[in-house]
Amino acid sequence: MAVTAAEAGFDLTLSDEQELAQRAARDFASEKVLPLAAEIDEQGKIPPALLAEMGALGFMGAYVPERYGGSGLDTVSYILIVEEINRACASTGVVLSSHLSLAIEPILEYGTVAQKEHFLPAMARGERIGCFALSEPASGSDAAAMRTSARRDGDSWVLNGTKNFITNGSLSDVAVVFAQTDPAKRHKGIAAFIVEKGTAGFSVGKLEKKLGIRGSDTAQLIFADCRVPAANLLGEVGDGFKIALSTLDGGRISIAAQAVGIARACLEDSLGYAKEREAFGKKIAEFQAIQWMLADMATEIDAARLLTWRAASLKDAGQDHILAAAEAKLFASDVAVKAARDCVQIFGGYGYLKDFPAERHYRDAKITEIYEGTSEIMKLVIAEEILKE
């Protein structure tokens, strides 16, 4: 009999299909990703063959309908995959989630049939990687203040401006780009465009050197009289801000799943080390101080996972998931940062060395409190939603 949580509004029991997706991702992550995680972090890049295999396994198009070349899974299956990949390597995990939840998602939800048929099959197979270009040097959380402009000229739109902190920026073949068509209208004047690599006037600028998730590229994108076909307008003129916010609501569930994966890595690595490391004549796992840290990790990770599953379930049901996604991201990111801190503490001096995974987890965890909406923005979203009631 299924165990349900009526008040939370979702079923805690995974379906056979969801368990299969989880198992496939766990096996792949353990066998192929985890052995390369330290090297990916050190070298600052992910082997193309690894991404190609993720595409072949159907992960890169997890919830894309089969008619567009995807696996046709639900959102819960997707976030199970995201957790498993991030447990092994957060850099590899964010390439997956940015590609699917930020680039594919808006095309899937707002694109025309022609746009879907043209872009989605290759993206779902991982043959073309996508990115989401919203942030700018002078506008992050205040997206409505963007300065990148779009001007209609015949059968094209001409884009000018710079986008900042773009995950998959240099790796991507397809970018979902937001630009202002009428500054006087602020957020009501923003439009979204699908811009392909190789388009004249579209180039990659500075590659950022980061604290964590070093294996994923974060780049500036530069548009200098970049002519985009009018057929590549996503939705209607003025829909851009709505498209961006809607996409981020779903993307926050992915980041919550990433945070759960990182936190789980911290717990599992801490458990392994605590059972082996000896001090004062016994395993450090026998000390209450260590046990309490492990107990907190385990409890908080379970809570974060359930919040994430609830948000994903609401999205699958077509229900409003803005509040649930914000709560999941806020809580899970905090859990990841705390778990990473305690992981380093449990490892002691070794936790400060690059020879051990604790320091990588510590660096990787922090970004979950920043991108796709900072923790402070999540609190504003949550407050706004609950004050509506």
Dihedral through CA 164, CA 170, CA 175, CA 181, nearest 10?
A: 40
Query: How far is residue 224's CA from residue 151's CA, in Å, rounded to a whole number?
Result: 12
Residues forming beta bridges with residue 139, ordered by sequence position: 136
Q: How far apart are CA 273 and CA 343, in angstroms?
A: 10
Q: How far is CA 88 from CA 26, 259, 264, in A?
A: 9, 12, 10
If you search the block for the tokens 């046709």, which residue do you land on?
A: 72
Q: Which residue, chain included where needed, has tokens 């690894």?
A: 50
- Neighbour tally for 340: CB within 10 Å: 29
Q: Residue 112 — left, alpha, or beta (φ > 0 → left; ψ -120 to 50 → alpha)?
A: beta
Quick check: is 372 catalytic? yes
Which residue is catalytic, options 83, 300, 327, 372?
372
Retrieve residue 235's tokens: 């939705």
Residue among 83, 75, 173, 73 nearest 126 (CA): 173
- Which amino acids are annotated catalytic? 372
